[in-house]
Amino acid sequence: MSKVKIITDSCSDLPAAIIEKYGIEFLNIEVNIDNKIYYDRADLEPKDFYNLIKDQKQVPKTSRLTPDKFKNIYQKYLNDYDHILVIAFSSKLSGILESAVIAKKEMAAEKITIIDSKAASIGQGILVYQAAKMLKNGQKLKEVVNKTMADAAKMEHIFAVGDLEMLKRGGRISKAKALMANVLNIKPILHILDGEILPHDKVRGKKRMISYLLKEIKTKADQPENQVIGLAYSEDQEAALKLKKEIEKEFEPKEVFLTEIGAAVGSHAGPGTLAIVFKNSKEIAKPKLY
């Protein structure tokens, strides 16, 4: 059985327990808050991040991982492993994938396979998690790559933005729209289509937001009872646990993978976000292999 090292970035929002259990190389994204540098999930846990940004007027800024960073990581494992598998954050949302590919080309390393997951947060995290499980169970690299690509092609991401302040400060929506939405208690629903974040719908109130997300699983998921359904949240753990309970009750999936959104993704999504990820019954993305 060949030895394969999985590398991913902290945009995947994988919990530390999973990273440790499967020996995943986890690259922490750099986050600039008020001109101070932190590293997502290394010296800045999600709870601390949301506390830090509450009184900040400027939106936190994230930095892409550089090609040199990837070259250093590749060199660390190429001698001791038969292959390296990189599962990266969507190329339409960050330059991380580009850096990983540049580093591979500069090193002319054939023992590296890179997947543009076209996924984000827990969507990317589930792909990494399931690939790690398959490798640990002795499945061949080719099988793991093919299954990861097939799953990524059907990965549905739908998320409700609970607090519009971050979107307003980041210039994503106008102050007037943010004020109106907050007054009316409107929760924008966004989704990721082939790696790109797009508007999807809107609902009024947290209760309807949870009902809406459940309905999306019911109408779009491919046999939810046979899936690992992802659930990610920022700050509002109570809503996440309520939704988790409803998902388990209604669909009885193989697993509900719950995680908190870290600083890398939270710098853009903001607090109060609730996201679900599941496999659609049809292909909605075109993941790429390098």
The parent domain of residue 188 ranges over 155-289
Give helix 67-78 / helix 96-107 axis angle, nearest 10°.
50
141 shares its domain with 163: no
205 shares its domain with 245: yes
Amino acid 171: pLDDT: 47
Amino acid 184: pLDDT: 45
Give the chain's domain count. Answer: 2
In this prediction, what percent of the chain has a pLDDT beyond 90?
A: 78
* pTM as predicted: 0.93
Average of per-residue pLDDT across 17-27: 98
The domain that contains 273 carries what CATH number?
A: 3.30.1180.10
Summarize pLDDT for 156-184 with one digit per residue, the tens. Answer: 999 988 666 665 554 444 443 444 444 44
Q: Is the predicted pLDDT of residue 88 greater than 60, yes or no?
A: yes
DSSP letters for 79-106: TT-SEEEEEE--TTT-SHHHHHHHHHHH
66 shares its domain with 176: no
- Out of 17-26, 112-121, 230-239, 265-274, which region has the weakest mean confidence (pLDDT)? 265-274
| Helix, strand, coil percent content, the chain, rounded in steps of 5 | 45, 25, 30
Among residues 136, 153, 170, the one where a domain terminates is: 153
Q: Is the predicted pLDDT of residue 32 greater than 90, yes or no?
A: yes
DSSP letters for 212-247: HHHHHHHHHBSSGGGSEEEEEESS-HHHHHHHHHHH
Read off the pLDDT band of 233 (50, 70, 90).
very high
62 shares its domain with 171: no
